[in-house]
Amino acid sequence: MSILVTGGAGYIGSHTCVELLEAGRDIVVLDNFSNSKPEVLDRIRAITSRDFKFYEADLLDREAVERVFSENEIEAVIHFAGLKSVSESVDIPLRYYHNNITGTLILCDTMSKFGCKKMVFSSSATVYGMDNVPPCREDMPTSAINPYGRTKLMIEEILRDLCVADKEWTAILLRYFNPIGAHKSGLIGEEPNGIPNNLLPYVAMVATGRLEHLNVYGDDYDTPDGTGIRDYIHVVDLAKGHLCALDYAAGHTGAKAVNLGTGRGYSVLEVVKAFEKASGRKVPYVVAPRRQGDVAASFADPSEAKRVFGWEAQYGIDEMCEDLWRFAKDNLK
């Protein structure tokens, strides 16, 4: 029996594949390389000294998805695949709704057809919207302020409805905060196309000279240094959380939302300082206007993950930045 990892060549997906393989699990990876690179698959194999089946396919291609299930015994799915740029989702909302939601519907339909009814879904802290005061708890009201966030929220609701309609289904909705860092081997990490949307790849590209300076969006928030505060979590900690979610899903049914974060927030300028320390490079920055939809502070209450999974984050900001720099200096040039 294998675990299907959709979007398994991507940033979080690739690190989760490593953790699954090193835990002795068999995996099947599906990816269309829309925001990932084929060589990542060979790097996963190099890190783990294990092989796995791969399908270059799109979740919108029902025939291809059904072929994956017909050719393999899939016991559960970790679902990462989806478009993920907030700004792009505002510009091309229909593409985001069609890709993320229709693709998930085809995946769920196929899973049911083949009797596979356990999913760990890659959700996001963006579902907490603008009005909740951190730390964010799973029982807080949800909302979304952009098409990307709405696709995450809609898929959560779709999976909840599915679990109500079919009591054999399990859906673990993992609400990520801000993944950063890279595998300690330096072989896999985040390699965004173009100018990154996320802070740390942006900082790394400035440190390597690929970009001239960092734009800091707003320095007048109600925070100690005026810059936004976020909960940064090491991608390896995040990946290990997926293994815990799989174990939990094996013995439970129904839908359950769980935060994956550290419970500690760092400001933009604190992160810049930590990265300068890790890299030995200066990161010049320019203050730019606030971005619409950014909140002053967002960080998790991670106690539910510890209670139900026995999981908690192990890495601090210094190690996150050190691991990211190890990857970035050789790959983000």
Kindly report the number of other CB atoms within 10 A of residue 140's CB atom. Answer: 16
* pTM for the whole structure: 0.97
pLDDT for 300: 98
In a domain, 116, yes or no: yes
In a domain, 89, yes or no: yes
Catalytically annotated residues: 148
Statement to judge: residues 113 and 164 lie in one domain: yes
CA-wise closest residue to 68 among 25, 106, 16: 106
Distance CA 173, CA 242 (A): 10
In a domain, 191, yes or no: no
Statement to judge: residues 242 and 100 lie in one domain: yes
For the record, the structure tokens of 285 come out as: 């920055």
List the pLDDT tens digit at each of the 333 positions of the chain: 999 999 999 999 999 999 999 999 999 999 999 989 999 999 999 999 999 999 999 999 999 999 999 999 999 999 999 999 888 999 999 999 999 999 999 999 999 999 999 999 999 999 999 999 999 999 999 999 899 999 999 999 999 999 999 999 999 999 999 999 999 999 999 987 777 778 999 999 999 999 999 999 999 999 999 999 999 999 999 999 999 999 999 999 999 999 999 999 999 999 999 999 999 999 999 999 998 878 899 999 999 999 999 999 999 999 999 999 999 998 876
Distance CA 108, CA 113 (A): 9
CA 330 and chain centroid, separation: 23
Distance CA 89, CA 302 (A): 28
pLDDT for 332: 77
What is the residue-wise DSSP string for 40-109? HHHHHHHHHT---EEEE--TT-HHHHHHHHHHS-EEEEEE--S---HHHHHHSHHHHIIIIIIHHHHHHH
Distance CA 221, CA 215 (A): 15
pLDDT for 132: 95
Statement to judge: residues 102 and 203 lie in one domain: no
Statement to judge: residues 94 and 46 lie in one domain: yes
Domain count, the chain: 2
Statement to judge: residues 123 and 244 lie in one domain: yes
pLDDT for 198: 84
Phi-psi region for residue 324, left (φ > 0), alpha (ψ -120 to 50) or beta?
Answer: alpha
Residue span of the structural domain in which 71 resides:
2-180+232-260
Statement to judge: residues 85 and 132 lie in one domain: yes
Distance CA 224, CA 258 (A): 29
Pairing of strands 178-180, 170-176: unpaired
Tell me if 301 sits within 8 A of 159, measured CB to CB.
no
In a domain, 189, yes or no: no
Statement to judge: residues 256 and 221 lie in one domain: no
In a domain, 254, yes or no: yes
Statement to judge: residues 147 and 6 lie in one domain: yes
pLDDT for 193: 72
Statement to judge: residues 209 and 108 lie in one domain: no
Half-sphere exposure in the Cβ direction for 26 (13 Å, CA): 7
Radius of gyration in angstroms for the set of CA atoms belonging to the chain, rounded to a whole number: 19
Q: What is the CATH number of the domain that holds 104?
A: 3.40.50.720
Q: What is the CATH number of the domain that holds 213?
A: 3.90.25.10
Statement to judge: residues 208 and 95 lie in one domain: no
pLDDT for 251: 96
CA-wise closest residue to 290 among 219, 231, 239, 240: 219
pLDDT for 32: 97
Tell me if 191 sits within 8 A of 37, measured CB to CB.
yes
Statement to judge: residues 71 and 147 lie in one domain: yes
pLDDT for 163: 98
pLDDT for 257: 98
In a domain, 272, yes or no: yes
Statement to judge: residues 240 and 174 lie in one domain: yes
In a domain, 186, yes or no: no
Q: What is the dihedral sign for C-alpha 323, 326, 330, 333?
A: positive
Distant-in-sequence, close-in-space partners of 218: CB < 8 Å, separation ≥ 6: 226, 227, 228, 287, 288, 289, 290, 291, 294
pLDDT for 66: 98
Pairing of strands 214-217, 285-288: parallel
pLDDT for 246: 98
In a domain, 194, yes or no: no
